[in-house]
Amino acid sequence: MLHPMLDLNSILFSVTLVSLCMGLMLHVFIRSFQPLMRGARPIAWSSIVLGFGTAALALRGISPDLLPVSIVLGNLGTLLSQGLVHVGLCRLVDRHTRLPYVAGVLGTSYLGAIWYTFAMPSLFARVAILSAGLIVAVGLTIWELYCSMRLRKSLATMGLLVVLSILQTSLILRAVLTWLHRDGYDAYFADSPMQAITLMGVLLSLVLGILLCMMLIGERALVRLRESARREDLLTGLPNRMAADEAVEAALQNGAEQGRPTTVVRIDLDNFRQFNDWYGHDVGDAVLRHVTECIRRVLRRGRLLARWGGKGYIVVMPDSDGEAGAGLARDIVLEISLSPLALGHFDIEIAACAGVASSRRSESTSDAVMLAAEAALDSARRNPDGLAKVREID
pLDDT at 6 over 50: no
* 128: confidence class by pLDDT, cuts 50, 70, 90: confident
Q: Which residues of 269-293 are buried (b: 16+ CB within 10 A; e: fewer)?
A: beebeebbeeeeeeebebbbebbbe
pLDDT at 182 over 70: yes
Q: Are 268 and 353 in contact (CB under 8 A)?
A: yes
The pLDDT of residue 65: 80
Average of per-residue pLDDT values in the chain: 83
- Percentage, residues of the chain above pLDDT 70: 91
The pLDDT of residue 3: 47
What pLDDT digit, counting tens, does each position of 50-69 carry?
888 888 888 877 777 888 88
What pLDDT digit, counting tens, does each position of 220-276 carry?
777 777 777 778 887 888 888 888 888 888 888 888 888 888 899 999 988 888 877
Average pLDDT over residues 308-315: 87
Contacts (Cβ under 8 Å, ≥6 apart) of 62: 9
Average pLDDT over residues 175-202: 75
191 alpha-carbon distance from chain centroid: 46
Beta bridge partners of 305: 315
Average pLDDT over residues 120-137: 87
Distance CA 325, CA 331 (A): 10
Highest mean pLDDT among 63-67, 122-126, 162-166, 183-187: 162-166
Element (H, E) at 342: strand 341-343
- What structural domains and CATH numbers belong to the chain? 4-228 (1.20.1070), 241-393 (3.30.70.270)
CA distances from 146 to 16, 79, 142, 270, 327 (A): 29, 22, 6, 56, 53
What pLDDT digit, counting tens, does each position of 9-19 carry?
677 777 788 88
What pLDDT digit, counting tens, does each position of 202-227 carry?
878 888 888 888 888 888 777 777 77
Picking from 189, 183, 145, 149, the residue whose alpha carbon sits closest to that of residue 167 is 145
Least confident of 166-175, 189-198, 314-323: 189-198
The pLDDT of residue 2: 43
Distance CA 54, CA 75 (A): 9
Task: Identify the burial level of 82 via C-beta atoms within 10 angstroms of its C-beta, where 0-12 means exposed, 13-18 middle and 19 or more buried.
Answer: buried
